Amino acid sequence: MKRPVTHYHKVKVDDLNVFYREAGPDDGPVVVLLHGYPTSSHMYRDLIPMLADKYHVIAPDLIGFGYSDAPHYKAFSYTFDNLTKYVQGLLDLLKVDRFAIQVFDYGAPVGYRLALANPEKITAIISQNGNAYKEGLSNGWSLLEKYWNEPTAENRNSLRVTSTADSIQWQYFTGAPDKSLIAPESYTLDQFFMDRSENEEIQLDLFKDYATNVALYPAFHEYFRKYQPPFLATWGEKDPYFIPAGAEAFKKDLPNAIVRFYDTGHFALETHLNVIGEEIRNFLDGLSLR
């Protein structure tokens, strides 16, 4: 089968440039892939071709990440509301009026905000370690929670270690059953962008604002209960941040949710691309997304 071609674009959304990957037929059902921390749409480089023979796939880089603009943290308010604003702006610019979302890590609060704002547009949700329940937060969140409750310089500085090369590689390797499956360009590219001037401050601002995502959990749950979107959770069960209880919790509000666990960590697509990609494809193919 001929491999679908991916195109790489950068467009102005309001005052900033947003980079995105796009593939698939123009008239295909739209699937929007939303990346997490500390990565970019690059994390979906191999999933895109698995979907794009049938689906119109759009994978943006969030503002401050990848090849999208990363304005200085003193000139731009790095909040999840603002990250969502630019994804919404991109979809509006592209005239996308119906779409499924695949969310991961930071992409989850962005995607769930999109769903709150556009419930009539969401055709399905796929969550790969994209949390929405307090029971999904591991003990690894303790330093962040301390920063949320006491946003002092000392607590902010305690989180700087998370942007080091050792820390980012740890996120990729922890829980992975075979580290040789993890492409080195994944965490190396992440580190390249992380090392940009003042980028560490951007990430610390987003760490602080992550508290707003937890505060929105009840609103996300209400959306799930009211609209019952078709839902698939594909979860690396050894994720040090978002534990399996968070995946199981979706069934409280979405009793028909499909939940699958895999013997891997946070970046599950790096080690389990084929099986997860097949699960996503089968899920989407079983729906009427028009």
Residues annotated as catalytic (active site), given as ranges: 266
Query: With contact defined as beta carbons under 8 Å apart, do 103 and 207 qualify?
Result: no
Return phi, psi of residue 164, to 5°: -75, 160
- What strands, in cross-sheet order, belong to the sheet with 30-34? 6-13, 16-23, 56-60, 30-34, 99-103, 122-127, 231-236, 258-262
Q: How many CB atoms lie within 10 A of CB 290?
A: 7
Give Dmax (Cα) for the chain.
56
Phi-psi region at 24: left, alpha or beta (left = phi > 0; alpha = psi -120 to 50): left
Residue that the structure tokens 């959304």 belong to: 13
Distant-in-sequence, close-in-space partners of 184: CB < 8 Å, separation ≥ 6: none
Residue 164 to residue 84: CA distance in whole angstroms? 26
